Amino acid sequence: MGFIRGFRWAIALLLSLGFAVSAQAEGFVNTRGGWLSLTPEAKAAYVQGLNDSLNYFFVDDSLTEALAKRGRTRCLIESRVTAAVLAAQITAAYQEDQYERFSPVAVYILKIGEMCRPYINRERQEFGLGPQ
């Protein structure tokens, strides 16, 4: 199932970007330089694809994975966060040296984890699990 999940993620990402990123020499945005070279619209589309794929529930998700996804989704909805806002957070993170070697996916996961931790912990608490 891991291959299928990865394949779905890749398809969702390509569709969300409208194949605009594929024109780059790398083919995918995996570096800070690649991210910073994108237009604001491409960054927002990229983040939308990340969000849609990383927060999609799969039948083989563990309980902790599903609760984290549910918490992140509630956080974004209740906070009215847009793809452009998330993209701006990734761009801001790349101004810090500690994120220099991370891919945009990793930065997204770290930043959304920070922002949505209270929501994730609330979901975990409802199932009798401790905070993350």
Give the pLDDT score at 132. Answer: 83
**Integer-rounded Cα radius of gyration of the chain:** 15
pTM of the entire structure?
0.74
Q: What is the C-alpha end-to-end distance of the chain, expressed in Å?
A: 25
HSE-up of residue 23 (Cα within 13 Å, Cβ side): 7
HSE-up of residue 124 (Cα within 13 Å, Cβ side): 16
CB atoms within 10 A of CB 78: 10
Domain ranges of the chain: 2-126
Backbone conformation region of residue 28, classed left if phi is above 0, alpha if psi is from -120 to 50, else beta:
beta
2-19 residue pLDDT tens: 444 544 544 444 444 443
98-124 residue pLDDT tens: 999 999 999 999 999 999 999 999 999
